């Protein structure tokens, strides 16, 4: 077949372009929910990991957070997805929910290190200043430290979300029709892997490029505000 015929077979025949849109929707849905869950988990875990006793020693919560981060970062994300799908939530019929939880828990470990680094980047004198004003340690963290740390963590959080979108390509292992799986299915129907897979790669690239541009604009705005 000519290149045009291969394109028509992969995208036009049988309205197959709708399958790509549907697969992209599944990909973005999982990435969005997982990203939000990862931010929530990561922030909590970061605060747990930074918690200390009055004499500066790590608390039990700090050790628990460290174990969580070590386990998640030390095992493949595809294995975590399979465990969530076939063992922990085997009774669930909501594949998007299961995948979102799996990727959210996975992302939370990486986000926690991003948030922890952002908090540690804030001058230690800020904590002392808050305590001298009569604020508790928790209140100082909430009202003084975290607002300043947000500027430090937004760019890497954006990069984490971009990585998350690409990582969702493994949900085909549990039969979810994301963009990558749809491309594979169409390739098996047309007996031509080139056009469906290249098409999926182009779609991924466009989405990631748009997000990258948005992140770059956000970083420039943040730098301008810092220079005022």
pLDDT of residue 50: 87
CA angle (176 as vertex; 17, 32 as ends), nearest 5: 85
Q: What is the C-alpha to C-alpha distance for residues 226 and 194, in angstroms, rounded to an integer?
A: 47
Q: Which of 77, 91, 11 is nearest to 38 (CA)?
A: 77
**Lowest-confidence pick of 73-82, 98-107, 214-223:** 214-223
Q: What is the C-alpha to C-alpha distance for residues 116 and 110, in angstroms, rounded to an integer?
A: 10
Residue 98 has pLDDT above 90, yes or no: yes
CATH topology of domain 3-226: MetI-like fold (1.10.3720)
- Domain definitions of the chain by residue range: 3-226
The DSSP string of 186-221 is HHHHHT--HHHHHHHHHHHHHHHHHHHHHHHHHHHH
Q: What is the C-alpha to C-alpha distance for residues 18 and 28, in angstroms, rounded to an integer?
A: 15
pLDDT of residue 227: 58
Q: End-to-end distance of the chain based on CA atoms, in angstroms?
A: 60
| pTM for this predicted structure | 0.88
Q: How many residues are present in the chain?
A: 228
Q: What is the C-alpha to C-alpha distance for residues 219 and 213, in angstroms, rounded to an integer?
A: 10
Q: What is the C-alpha to C-alpha distance for residues 221 and 184, in angstroms, rounded to an integer?
A: 40
Q: What is the C-alpha to C-alpha distance for residues 70 and 45, in angstroms, rounded to an integer?
A: 12
pLDDT of residue 226: 60
pLDDT of residue 62: 92
Q: What is the mean pLDDT of the chain?
A: 89
Q: What are phi and psi of 52, to 5 degrees?
A: -140, 160
| Residue 110: band (very low, low, confident or very high) from pLDDT cuts 50, 70, 90 | very high
Q: Which of 146, 129, 178 is nearest to 46 (CA)?
A: 146
């Amino acid at each position: 077949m000519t290149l045009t015929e291969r394109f028509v077979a992969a995208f036009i025949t049988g309205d197959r372009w709708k399958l790509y849109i549907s697969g992209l929707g599944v990909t973005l849905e999982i990435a969005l929910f997982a990203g939000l869950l990862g931010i929530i988990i990561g922030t909590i875990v970061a605060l747990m990991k930074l918690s200390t006793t009055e004499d500066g020693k790590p608390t039990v919560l700090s050790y628990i957070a460290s174990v969580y981060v070590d386990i998640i970062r030390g095992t493949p994300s595809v294995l975590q997805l399979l465990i969530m799908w076939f063992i922990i939530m085997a009774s669930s019929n909501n594949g998007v929910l299961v995948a979102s939880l799996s990727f959210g828990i996975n992302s939370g470990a990486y986000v926690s290190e991003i948030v922890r680094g952002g908090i540690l980047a804030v001058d230690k004198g800020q904590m002392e200043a808050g305590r001298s004003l009569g604020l508790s340690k928790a209140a100082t963290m909430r009202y003084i430290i975290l607002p300043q740390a947000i500027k430090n963590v937004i760019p890497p959080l954006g990069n984490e979300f971009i990585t998350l979108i690409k990582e969702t390509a493994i949900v085909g292992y549990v039969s979810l029709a994301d963009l990558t799986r749809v491309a594979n299915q169409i390739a098996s129907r047309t007996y031509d892997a080139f056009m469906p897979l290249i098409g999926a790669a182009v779609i991924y690239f466009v989405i990631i490029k748009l997000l990258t541009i948005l992140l770059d604009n956000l970083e420039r705005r943040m730098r301008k505000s810092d220079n005022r």
